[in-house]
Structure 1
Amino acid sequence: MSVFGAAERLRSSPVQSWTLAFVAFGVSLAARFLFDDVLPAGFPYLTFFPAVILTAFFAGLWPGIFCAVLGGLSAWYWFIPPFDSFHVNHQTIIALLFYACIVSVDIVLIELMHGATENLRAERAVTRNLYEQQREMVAQLKDREERQQVLQHELSHRMKNTLAIVQAVVDQSLRHAPDLKSASRTASARIMALGRSQDMLTQSNWQSADIRTIIDASLAPHVDHSARFRLEGAGMKLTATQSMGLALMLHELATNAAKYGALSNEAGHVQIAWTKPAENRFELTWRESGGPPVVPPTRRGFGSRLIERIVPGYFHGETKLDYAPGGLVVTLAGTVES
């Protein structure tokens, strides 16, 4: 421990501070009596000066003043003629003023030194704090840059996936449409369905989306009265790719139902139920009823490929279509993240 550290520890303890003041005064008084015969005349305060300086430095202001006062009174009484009295004359006054001036300067200088030390310690603490803040800001900046790079990479990946899906939708719509106007209408409807799924993903930072939200957004254009759709299932998170795939699949099913199935008349309705029969497993059923009799399609277009092959791949599963006379039943089974 440094000398200033020891002084700070003693100053923080009143008991130790005042004990040091009494001990220092006692030692200085005993030394003055012990060396009275060998000390030169005219130096009654010689042993009290070190006691005052040490007490003021280690014990503090008031213990130092206390030691100085006791030392001055002791020298006045025992070592300034006439001895053993508090006689006052011009020589006594000069001697006392000299002593008071010396010890006052010593105590003031010591307190200024301690004040400067405290200021230096405070400045060092501020410097350390600023350094820690700067280091933390640098670490945060580095972390922000790394997250920005990850975000840019992720955005690039998402954009490529989205553009690939859009390209496939447009290409297949043009390829299977009877004319350009019909192709444009079909492609626009599919891209709008894809856009609605992207809106939902944007709200969750492209991480995942709730299946109920996806279904509601995908079916919203086809809801003409409250009994059209019956939804059954608990909340479940789907990945970004699964969300877009399911949105496109539901768009295709709802469009076909509006043309040929349960949504083509006022009495028809669709039941959509989804469950997790086991951990990470997923199953969704689209069941139409109340529509015209079902006739299996004679031609397989992009919508059929989307429902039967493309979307099941996003779930690592399969899709089964049942063209029952009472209504189309489509079952999507696969896996989802837990």
Structure 2
Amino acid sequence: MRRMNARFIERLPLAGVHPALAYLATAGLCLIALALRLVADPVLASGYPYVSFFPAVVIAAFLFGRSAAVLAGVLCWLMAWYFFIPPAGVFKFNGNIAVSFIFYLLVVVIDIALIHWMQLANTKLAEERARGAALAEHREMLFRELQHRVSNNLQVAAALMALQRRNIDHPGARKALDEASHRLSLIGKISRALYDPTGQRLSVHSFVETLASDILEANGRNDVRIEMAIAPDVAMDPDSAIPFALIMAEAIANALEHAFADDRGGCIRITITGDEGLTLDIVDDGCGLPDGFALENSGSLGLRIAATLAQQLGGTFRLSNAETGGVRAHLAIPAAA
């Protein structure tokens, strides 16, 4: 209801569409004011000739604009002069009548001017609001186009690496290109899926399942089951989304490579909570870490990347043996990150 009233007010004055109808309606308002004054005349004290005509002028100014209000002011003045200023029935002029005319003129001019300035300000406000909405829509379109192009460029770079891999015989180099191609492709997918043009905090629940499924599919592991426990109120800043998703991807890939080697099936449980920051736990049911394992001494590039990204977010990433067996990858990002 409030929005409908606001839209109606923004359309005022209405005279711009059909001026003739506006002037006709203004004349009708003046006649209504005359009728009301005639009805009230027996109970009104003398000296109030304009009492019912001021509202007619104000309504005409509000609904139909300045020109219609001027017409209403003139018509109401003539009606009041002829019918209610003694001697009634004639247009007599003297000093007292001139003073009443001056006061009537001042009141009418002030009313019309105030309403006119208010409507000008309201019109400018509506124009600025429309301009702001258009700019916001244009900004969103540019943002989406930018995200689309960035994602496409990353996909192209990943495809070029995959093509270059065919010309390399060294197993280590081929593996490095495979991993780099996979990471670039993953960044492109995450960038397109997670970033919001408004910069609002993002819901984590909607993309984790898709991300985990993509990783399993990319590694050809349909024998590994994903279980998730994600708090419903978990959210993150857009700037943290890609690093968080990459760390999660590296932890899942590490579990697939070591916990479920030799086509061994199993389960990976993903737990995400948002209490005092953002916490990610990825637990597999594999054989656990080897004796003497230290993340800082690990030869895995993916794990080193995960640890570096966690530091950039102001958090920590570590691997440990889970209480139920297997490996627990734990990421903790403080609330300020």
Q: How does 1:13-162 map to 2 (within 5 A)?
A: 14=41, 19-20=46-47, 61-64=82-85, 67-68=87-88, 103=90, 124=113, 127-136=116-125, 140=129
Is the 1:317–1:335 contact (alpha carbons within 8 Å) kept by the matching residues of 2? Answer: yes
Q: How does 1:244-323 map to 2 (within 5 A)?
A: 244-262=242-260, 265=263, 267-277=265-275, 279=276, 281-289=277-285, 291=286, 300-309=299-308, 311-322=309-320
Q: Answer yes or no: is 1:209 the counterpart of 2:206.
A: no
Distance 1:16 1:58 in 2: 19
Structure 1 residue aligned with 2:181: 188
Q: Percent sequence identity over matched residues?
A: 14
| SS, match of residue 46 in structure 2 | helix
Give the superposition deviation at 1:272: 1.3
TM-score by length of 1: 0.52
CA 1:274–1:327: 2 relative to 1, 3 Å: same
Distance 1:243 1:262 in 2: 27
Structure 2 residue aligned with 1:229: 226
Structure 2 residue aligned with 1:93: none
Give the superposition deviation at 1:271: 1.0
Q: Deviations over 1:58-117 (max 9, x none)?
A: 9555435x8546xxxxxxxxxxxxxxxxxxxxxxxxxxxxxxxxx2698xxx9xx99999
Structure 1 residue aligned with 2:328: 329
Structure 1 residue aligned with 2:192: 199
Distance 1:140 1:264 in 2: 62
Distance 1:305 1:67 in 2: 102
Number of equivalent positions: 252
Identify unmatched segments of 5+ residues in structure 2: 1-32, 50-76, 165-169
Give the superposition deviation at 1:276: 4.2
Give the superposition deviation at 1:236: 0.9
CA 1:264–1:124: 2 relative to 1, 3 Å: farther
Distance 1:313 1:158 in 2: 26
Distance 1:236 1:260 in 2: 29
Is the 1:208–1:240 contact (alpha carbons within 8 Å) kept by the matching residues of 2? Answer: yes
| SS, match of residue 319 in structure 1 | strand
Q: How does 1:236-247 map to 2 (within 5 A)?
A: 236-247=234-245
Distance 1:257 1:138 in 2: 57
TM-score by length of 2: 0.52
Distance 1:269 1:178 in 2: 29
Distance 2:204 2:211 in 1: 11
Distance 2:44 2:115 in 1: 29
